[in-house]
Amino acid sequence: MNGTGMGRREFIQRASLAFASCAVGHRSAFAAAGPTSPLVAAIEKTTLRGGPDEAAAWFHPRACCLPGRDGPVVFMTLQDIRGSDFFGPVHWMESRDLGRTWTEPLPVPALGRIVLAPGSVEGVCDVVPEYHPPTRSVLALGHNVFYNGPRFHKEQPPRCPVYSVWRNGQWSPRRKLVWDDPRGAYIYSNGCSQRLTLPDGDILLTFSFCANKGDRHAVMGVRCSFDGETLAVKACGEPLTHEQGRGLLEPSLVQFDGRIFMTLRAEDERAYVTTSRDGLRWEPKRAWTWDDGEPLITASTQQHWLAHSAGLFLVYTRKDKSNAHVFRWRAPLFMAQVNPRTLQLERSTERVVFPLVGDVVREPGRPESGIYEMGNFHTTHVSPDESWVTVGEWRPRNANKGDLLAGRIRWSQANRLAPG
């Protein structure tokens, strides 16, 4: 029971209804035409907050849930973006009423910028926070990035995962996830990726890595120990490779029905999927297709998982007749149910999570560029009845300002994988 006398389940339900009716910004509900997954009752777009100022937009909003005295606490990291791959310091905020109200974003001291030389700084980006139940802490894991003046440094020094741990309202110092392997001499990264906490408290994650600038990235599963302070590599799996573009990037993991699934970003207008029993040895990857065998056509953009106890879903962007003018087809944002046996997307279940926003603007010598892009996003469960896709809108070639959004997915039956 909480302080009002409500049970936890009742609190969650009332908070969800209150959020749906409160004036926190623009909201719209929509559904795709035709048959859809019976698990998805509705999808609602909600604005959590506007951009930090007229010259920037909140980006990389990623949330996790912590147990609270009166129900789950939604904990989010985010940072502003002011140009292509030019990010401000990492911030965090939280909500104790399922997103109806939020604390003001505060900087994460350990994940700010470090001045290396005049005009040269080291920052942090692509952070993903996840609650670690055995240690009652939040592990915020991203990677370092280097800037030369007000832009991304084209000659990036070696890059690696960095992290900070939040516990009892305090952030730990910045730490590096050490991997002394020559295969990752140029870069090894877990940025933007979904990871798993295993029953013994170990963390299963992935590295996208290469030894030299210009090499194609390979991907492998990595098992790490975590004691609430230090994250350390225990075992590395067999690498997966791809002989096009930069290789394989930003892999994400999910566990469903006794198997571990991984989705992979690539640069050949395809995305890839594979499965494993232990997260270290993987089946040969295959391109994502629809259930009729037609390939999913997508650009070099992330995909992320959304698991319900009764079904597995993928959230993604793809080529569509409506978005030929959108950079990397980064809007709309879609979701569809996955057939875990065939590793195909069920076309009849596809839904729009976030539609196209903005007007087409034609500029001399540039692509049509007035659409808000939504290629960097995350998923999280906030209650058995509801899961979120969080994203920051960004209009990179005009005013950067865009809103911070949550796509609230209402389930038709309780999700046993969710808190509550």
Region 88-106 average pLDDT: 95
In 55-119, DSSP assigns E strands to 57-66, 73-83, 86-95, 106-107, 114-117
CA distance 167 to 171: 7
pLDDT digits (tens, 9 = 90+) for 186-197: 999 999 999 999
Q: Give the strand pairing for 259-265 and 271-276.
A: antiparallel
CB-CB contact of 222 with 237 (8 Å) = yes
CATH 2.120.10.10 correct for 8-411:
yes
On the question of pLDDT at 207 being above 60, the answer is: yes
| 69 C-beta neighbours (distance < 10 Å), count | 9
Question: Among 10, 3, 11, 12, which residue's Cα sits nearest to residue 386?
Answer: 12
Which token pair is 219?
């991907």
CB-CB contact of 311 with 41 (8 Å) = no
Of 396 and 18, the structure prediction assigns the larger pLDDT to 396
Question: What is the chain's length?
Answer: 420
CA distance 290 to 72: 36
- In this prediction, residue 363 carries a pLDDT of 52
- In this prediction, residue 20 carries a pLDDT of 35
Task: Specify the range with the lowest mean pLDDT, choosing from 4-8, 25-29, 211-215, 317-321.
Answer: 25-29
CA distance 340 to 66: 29
- In this prediction, residue 137 carries a pLDDT of 98
- In this prediction, residue 150 carries a pLDDT of 77
| 183 C-beta neighbours (distance < 10 Å), count | 16
pLDDT digits (tens, 9 = 90+) for 248-279: 999 999 999 999 999 999 999 999 999 999 99
- In this prediction, residue 319 carries a pLDDT of 92
On the question of pLDDT at 400 being above 70, the answer is: no
**C-alpha torsion 42→251→134→103, nearest 10:** -50
What region, left, alpha or beta, does residue 130 occupy, with left being phi > 0 and alpha being psi -120 to 50 degrees?
beta
Of 174 and 69, the structure prediction assigns the larger pLDDT to 174
Would you say the C-alpha torsion 130, 133, 139, 140 has a positive or negative sign? Answer: positive
How do the domains of the chain map onto residue ranges? Answer: 8-411
- In this prediction, residue 7 carries a pLDDT of 44
Give the chain's radius of gyration (CA, Å): 20
On the question of pLDDT at 25 being above 50, the answer is: no
| 155 C-beta neighbours (distance < 10 Å), count | 7
Which token pair is 160?
């690696």
- In this prediction, residue 107 carries a pLDDT of 97
- In this prediction, residue 396 carries a pLDDT of 58
Mean pLDDT of the chain: 87
Share of the chain above pLDDT 70, in %: 85
On the question of pLDDT at 315 being above 70, the answer is: yes
Prior bond of 332 cis (ω within 30°): yes
Which run of H or E residues covers position 321? none
Contacts of 268 (CB under 8 A, 6+ apart): 242, 244, 245
pLDDT digits (tens, 9 = 90+) for 33-68: 344 679 999 999 999 988 777 667 888 999 999 999
Which run of H or E residues covers position 311? strand 311-316
Of 8 and 102, the structure prediction assigns the larger pLDDT to 102
| 5 C-beta neighbours (distance < 10 Å), count | 8
Which token pair is 346?
């069920």
Can you tell me whether residue 246 is helix, strand or coil?
A: coil
- In this prediction, residue 85 carries a pLDDT of 80
Region 137-153 average pLDDT: 91
pLDDT digits (tens, 9 = 90+) for 323-337: 887 878 888 899 999
On the question of pLDDT at 10 being above 90, the answer is: no
Q: Give the pLDDT band (50/70/90) at residue 82.
A: confident
On the question of pLDDT at 234 being above 70, the answer is: yes
Of 314 and 370, the structure prediction assigns the larger pLDDT to 314
Q: Give the pLDDT band (50/70/90) at residue 141.
A: very high
CB-CB contact of 204 with 235 (8 Å) = no
- In this prediction, residue 343 carries a pLDDT of 98
On the question of pLDDT at 378 being above 70, the answer is: yes
- In this prediction, residue 208 carries a pLDDT of 98
- In this prediction, residue 329 carries a pLDDT of 81
- The β-bridge partners of 389 are 379, 407
The model carries a pTM of 0.88
